[in-house]
Amino acid sequence: MADSSGAPNSRTENSRELFERASRIVPGGVNSPVRAFRSVGGTPRFMVSGAGCRMTDADGNTYVDLVCSWGPLIVGHAHPHVIDAVGRAAAKGTSFGTPTPGEVALAEELTARTGVDKIRLVNSGTEATMSALRLARAATGRTKIVKFAGCYHGHVDPLLASAGSGVLTLALPDSPGVVGTDETIVLPYNDVDAVKRAFAENPGQIACVITEAAAGNMGVVAPRDGFNRELAAIAHADGALVILDEVMTGFRVSKNGWSGYSGDTADLYTYGKVMGGGLPAAAFGGRDELMSRMAPEGPVYQAGTLSGNPLACAAGLATLELCTDELYAKLDATSVTLQGLATKALAEAGVPHRVSTAGNMFSVFFTDADVPNLEAAQTQDAAAYRAFFHAMLDRGVYLPPSAYEAWFVSGALDDDALGLIADALPHAARAAAKVAK
Ligand SMILES: Cc1ncc(COP(=O)(O)O)c(C=O)c1O
């Protein structure tokens, strides 16, 4: 979908052919729904390589990447330190099904950064939240759970009620085939009174409240000041636990995630994305008294053939070695620069918008209303985002192919890349203005 100004980065012949082949044998042609471009239209770009802040697709188009594999690539693509660590690990063997030193090193790094007593490594954020939920139910002997509309915690059955991200992007109702959501109480995000009411109506029955530490799956919506602390106080007063889902925010918005950034605390935490450095690794953790209930120390079962995989641990550890105070200062500054550029371009084009931030994560809502929750996020002008997205894509900037996803910066963004984004934004803002309501 090249725009009328004849942008150069719109060759799609090879991606189109790959997509057609894939669509014959893979549902929707993709292995994770939002990749399919359904909400923005056009051909999903099949990437063949990445270096630093740039990636190249099957037609030779290059893009400055503001998705970063949906968060993990905080130091950019193929960082030499990460590639070297993965290569050295691979040369020694890819998996053993036994404990390995790399797992110990990664777990030590994670506990040192977060202050949790114990951590269990898994393969995906979905597994982390699924396991933390099981542990919370086992520890409390209760079954009900509270989650917030628009928060996505992976495709765990009871958490797929009013989930954001792909479910929202594709305008799907909560997925068929899901069981157990009758035990899930869904509340509006950032609404303390709703949390109070839920506990008043279900005394002694709620095992846990799970919340994204800062929401990033309905677009970025930070918790209102004190929200996470107040919900924890309400939950604890009733004997329920709090799970802070840091899969997206963990090690991204600060050395130890949103918790370190804001001071919010919880009983259990889930991590993923950055801690795997672009390979499949995730984790859940908490204080000893809870985590020691996990098998084989305790009775709560959870396991994985590839959990703590040596390559993933090496990538995660190498990435975290690069996650220094200097890197976070750079990410914060880059994020502010990009927010300013986007605001300027959209304001000059007269496009209603709100830049919404949570630390260095941000997204642009195409609405002029405040966005504290999912209901408000859904008032945005999806057609305007679609036009904006394609104009950026055609000029070599890869944004999330959905108006409900966070934009991610990496430490690899250089001045040339920022210049390219700055040049592209006014075109994209004008494209959005043409279709804006
Ligand atoms: C906050 C949050 N929790 C959990 C998940 C699920 O992680 P994964 O896709 O690794 O299963 C995601 C994925 O985007 C997420 O953003």
pLDDT over 80 at 265, yes or no:
yes
Mutate to test the pocket of ligand 1, among 152, 167, 251 (most ligand atoms within 8 A of CB): 152
Residue nearest to atom 7 of ligand 1 (CA): 125
Q: What is the mean pLDDT of the chain?
A: 95
Domain co-membership, 381 together with 301: no
Q: Say if CB 285 and CB 271 are below 8 A apart.
A: yes
Domain boundaries, position 345? 13-74+324-435
Domain co-membership, 19 together with 97: no
- Which residue from 282, 293, 360 is spatially nearest to 328, judged by alpha carbons? 360
CA distances from 290 to 97, 142, 410 (A): 25, 15, 34
Q: Please tell me the predicted confidence (pLDDT) of residue 172.
A: 54
Q: Which of 3, 65, 245, 267 is catalytic?
A: 245
Query: Residue 212 CA: which ligand 1 atom is closest?
Result: 1
Residue nearest to atom 3 of ligand 1 (CA): 153
Q: Please tell me the predicted confidence (pLDDT) of residue 28.
A: 95
Q: Please tell me the predicted confidence (pLDDT) of residue 177.
A: 84
Q: Which of 273, 328, 394, 404 is catalytic?
A: 273
Assess whether the C-beta atom of 69 lies below 6 angstroms from ligand 1.
no
- What is the mean pLDDT of the segment spanning 176-188? 87
125: in domain: yes
Domain co-membership, 103 together with 237: yes
Domain co-membership, 96 together with 56: no
User: What is 281-349 written as a DSSP string?
Assistant: -EEEEE-HHHHTTBTTTSSB----TTTT-HHHHHHHHHHHHH--HHHHHHHHHHHHHHHHHHHHHHHHH
Q: Please tell me the predicted confidence (pLDDT) of residue 170.
A: 56
- What is the mean pLDDT of the segment spanning 380-386? 96
> 382-394 vs 415-435: helix axis angle to the nearest 10?
140
Assess whether the C-beta atom of 394 lies below 6 angstroms from ligand 1.
no
Q: For 115-159, where are the alpha helices, taking DSSP H only?
A: 125-140
Assess whether the C-beta atom of 272 lies below 6 angstroms from ligand 1.
yes
Structure tokens at 312: 């993933």
127: in domain: yes
Domain co-membership, 372 together with 390: yes
Q: Please tell me the predicted confidence (pLDDT) of residue 180.
A: 79
416 noted as active-site residue: no
Pairing of strands 206-212, 54-57: unpaired
> 415-435 vs 325-349: helix axis angle to the nearest 10?
30
pLDDT-derived band at 3 (thresholds 50, 70, 90) equals very low
- Which residue from 44, 37, 36 is spatially nearest to 12, judged by alpha carbons? 44
**Domains held by the chain: number:** 2
pLDDT-derived band at 5 (thresholds 50, 70, 90) equals very low
- What is the mean pLDDT of the segment spanning 39-67? 97
Give 3 Cα–ligand 1 centroid separation in angstroms.
33
195: in domain: yes
152 noted as active-site residue: yes
Domain co-membership, 410 together with 305: no
pLDDT over 70 at 370, yes or no:
yes
Give 247 Cα–ligand 1 centroid separation in angstroms.
6
Residues 6+ apart with CB under 8 A from 200: none
Query: Residue 272 CA: which ligand 1 atom is closest?
Result: 10
pLDDT tens, position by position, 294-344: 999 999 999 999 999 999 999 999 999 999 999 999 999 999 999 999 999
Query: Residue 154 CA: which ligand 1 atom is closest?
Result: 6
Domain boundary among 264, 288, 322: 322
Domain co-membership, 186 together with 249: yes
pLDDT tens, position by position, 137-173: 999 999 999 999 999 999 998 888 777 656 655 555 5
Q: How many other CB atoms are there within 10 angstroms of residue 94's CB atom?
A: 11
Q: Please tell me the predicted confidence (pLDDT) of residue 130.
A: 98
Domain co-membership, 306 together with 398: no
Query: Residue 165 CA: which ligand 1 atom is closest?
Result: 14
- DSSP letter, residue 254: S
Span of 12-26, 45-59, 172-186, 264-278 with lowest mean pLDDT: 172-186
Q: Say if CB 410 and CB 65 are below 8 A apart.
A: yes
Q: Please tell me the predicted confidence (pLDDT) of residue 157.
A: 87
pLDDT over 90 at 271, yes or no:
yes
**In the chain, what percentage of residues exceed pLDDT 70?**
96
Q: Which residue has tokens 């989650």? A: 147
Q: Say if CB 34 and CB 171 are below 8 A apart.
A: no
Assess whether the C-beta atom of 126 lies below 6 angstroms from ligand 1.
yes
Q: Please tell me the predicted confidence (pLDDT) of residue 2.
A: 41
What is the C-alpha to C-alpha distance for residues 272 and 270, in angstroms, rounded to an integer? 7
23: in domain: yes
Q: Which of 57, 63, 144, 152 is catalytic?
A: 152
174: in domain: yes
27: in domain: yes
Give 27 Cα–ligand 1 centroid separation in angstroms.
20
Domain co-membership, 207 together with 58: no
Domain boundary among 272, 305, 322: 322
- Which residue from 403, 417, 410 is spatially nearest to 71, judged by alpha carbons? 410
- Residue 75's SS3 state is coil
Assess whether the C-beta atom of 124 lies below 6 angstroms from ligand 1.
yes
- Residue 241's SS3 state is strand
pLDDT tens, position by position, 396-424: 999 999 999 999 999 999 999 999 999 99
Residues 6+ apart with CB under 8 A from 119: 107, 110, 111, 271, 283, 284, 285, 291
Assess whether the C-beta atom of 212 lies below 6 angstroms from ligand 1.
yes
- What is the mean pLDDT of the segment spanning 98-115? 98
4: in domain: no
161: in domain: yes
Q: For CA atoms 338, 341, 344, 350, give the dihedral sign.
A: negative
Assess whether the C-beta atom of 107 lies below 6 angstroms from ligand 1.
no
More confident of the two residues 166 and 257:
257
- Which residue from 252, 256, 257, 206 is spatially nearest to 232, judged by alpha carbons? 206
- Which residue from 372, 87, 352, 345 is spatially nearest to 225, judged by alpha carbons? 372
Give 203 Cα–ligand 1 centroid separation in angstroms.
30
Q: Please tell me the predicted confidence (pLDDT) of residue 382.
A: 93
Assess whether the C-beta atom of 408 lies below 6 angstroms from ligand 1.
no
**Domain holding 188: CATH number?**
3.40.640.10
- DSSP letter, residue 143: -
- What is the mean pLDDT of the segment spanning 46-73? 98
Assess whether the C-beta atom of 247 lies below 6 angstroms from ligand 1.
yes
User: Long-range contact list for 83-92, CB < 8 A, 24+ apart?
Assistant: 84/318, 85/314, 85/315, 85/317, 85/318, 86/279, 86/311, 86/314, 86/315, 86/318, 88/314, 89/310, 89/311, 89/313, 89/314, 90/311, 92/310
- What is the mean pLDDT of the segment spanning 216-241? 98
Domain co-membership, 121 together with 191: yes
Domain boundary among 322, 356, 389: 322
Q: Please tell me the predicted confidence (pLDDT) of residue 344.
A: 98
Structure tokens at 293: 């209930």
330 noted as active-site residue: no
Q: Which residue has tokens 């990496």? A: 410
Q: Phi and psi for 295 in degrees, rounded to 5? A: -65, 140
Q: Please tell me the predicted confidence (pLDDT) of residue 345.
A: 98
Domain co-membership, 302 together with 371: no
Assess whether the C-beta atom of 345 lies below 6 angstroms from ligand 1.
no
Assess whether the C-beta atom of 264 lies below 6 angstroms from ligand 1.
no
Residues 6+ apart with CB under 8 A from 423: 395
**Domain holding 389: CATH number?**
3.90.1150.10
Domain co-membership, 42 together with 90: no
Residue nearest to atom 16 of ligand 1 (CA): 248
